[in-house]
């Protein structure tokens, strides 16, 4: 353990906000995986900036997480700094038909705030188990809606630690990607622009979408949601099912019998179980259909597929 680095991180974020050898299974919805050498929870934008600058200056690998809903840390752990932007940076403000929220705000809470103000357009995000920062970064979407449909502007840190505000049209939002990914920016805050609607209709729509999720997705097991990106012209879940892999298991990991697009932690799976299952699925689908599935889940350190 690098005591000098640990002490410098504590000077920035505070002693109680820096942890060493932190189990990432506690911070990822897969409920599996190894430890982070350093785990930092900044509670101000300037602290996020200063931690980022320290990592860049010392050439230390770092990764920013929110709810951990799209992440898996390998069993050997991550030899770097995990920066958590979650409940310590999660304020939500309503200004007319606009919602300004910090990156740690949960999408479900933003959707409920919108409902309470009779604002429509964010219903699609109510059931997505993630935070605003990750949703903006990956242009999260569901049931016909995407973040790009509602974003007005985003405040970010660039990879030099400089804060800047980008208009939605500058974000290059595409399917599970953005300029934020390409240029390794960190989302701090975003403005969501919605429209006035009927509260009862908004609530009914949210309930309908949640019922669909419960019916079709294995919410009773730990997972990272959709494990693979949607290949152009196909659906990952159907390809996996048609390859005969529904219910396929490696150790404690399994392709969900409810929805083949989900890999679940069925029985105390290790990160290695999950990764090996993903590799088997990719290989089998390619052999059957000549389609290469690309992981939607971020794995640290990166896996050579």
Catalytic annotation, pick one of 98, 172, 203, 296: 296
Catalytic annotation, pick one of 108, 226, 256, 260: 226
Residues in contact with 194: Cβ distance below 8 Å, sequence separation at least 6, in sequence order: 97, 98, 99, 114, 119, 120, 121, 122, 150
- DSSP summary character for residue 174: B
108 contacts 122 by C-beta, under 8 angstroms: no
Catalytic-residue membership of 213: no
122 contacts 95 by C-beta, under 8 angstroms: no
Catalytic-residue membership of 226: yes
Q: How many residues does the chain have?
A: 305
DSSP states along 194-214: -EE--HHHHHHHHHHHHHHHH
- Alpha carbons 213 and 217: distance in angstroms, whole number: 5
82 contacts 38 by C-beta, under 8 angstroms: yes
Catalytic-residue membership of 296: yes
Q: Which two tokens stand for residue 192?
A: 């969501």
84 contacts 281 by C-beta, under 8 angstroms: no
- Alpha carbons 240 and 243: distance in angstroms, whole number: 5
297 contacts 227 by C-beta, under 8 angstroms: yes
Find residue 146's DSSP bridge partners. 141
Catalytic annotation, pick one of 69, 176, 223, 256: 176
List, by residue number, the catalytic residues: 176, 226, 296
């Amino acid at each position: 353990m690098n005591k000098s680095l640990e002490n410098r991180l504590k000077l920035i974020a505070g002693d109680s906000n820096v942890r060493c050898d932190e189990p990432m299974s506690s911070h990822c919805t897969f409920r599996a995986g190894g430890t982070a050498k350093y785990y930092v929870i900044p509670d101000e934008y300037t602290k996020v900036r200063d931690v980022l600058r320290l990592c860049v200056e010392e050439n230390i690998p770092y990764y920013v997480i929110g709810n951990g809903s799209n992440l898996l840390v390998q069993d050997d752990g991550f030899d770097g700094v995990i920066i958590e932007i979650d409940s310590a940076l999660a304020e939500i403000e309503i200004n007319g038909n606009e919602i300004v929220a910090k990156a740690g705000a949960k999408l479900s809470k933003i959707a409920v705030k919108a409902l309470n103000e009779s604002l429509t357009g964010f219903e699609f995000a109510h059931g997505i188990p993630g935070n605003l920062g990750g949703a903006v970064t990956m242009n999260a979407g569901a049931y016909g809606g995407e973040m790009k449909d509602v974003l007005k502007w985003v405040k970010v840190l660039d990879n030099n630690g400089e804060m800047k505000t980008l208009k939605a049209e500058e974000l290059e939002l595409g399917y599970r990607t953005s300029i934020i990914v390409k240029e390794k920016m960190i989302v701090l805050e975003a403005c969501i622009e919605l429209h006035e609607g009927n509260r009862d209709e908004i609530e009914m729509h949210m309930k309908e979408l949640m019922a669909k999720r419960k019916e079709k997705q294995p919410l009773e097991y730990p997972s990272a949601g959709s494990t693979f990106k949607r290949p152009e012209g196909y659906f990952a879940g159907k390809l996996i099912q048609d390859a005969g892999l529904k219910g396929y298991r490696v150790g404690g990991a399994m392709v969900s019998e409810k929805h083949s697009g989900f890999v679940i932690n069925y029985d105390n799976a290790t990160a290695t179980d999950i990764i090996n299952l993903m590799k088997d699925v990719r290989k089998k689908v390619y052999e059957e259909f000549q389609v290469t599935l690309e992981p939607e889940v971020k794995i640290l350190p990166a896996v050579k597929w």
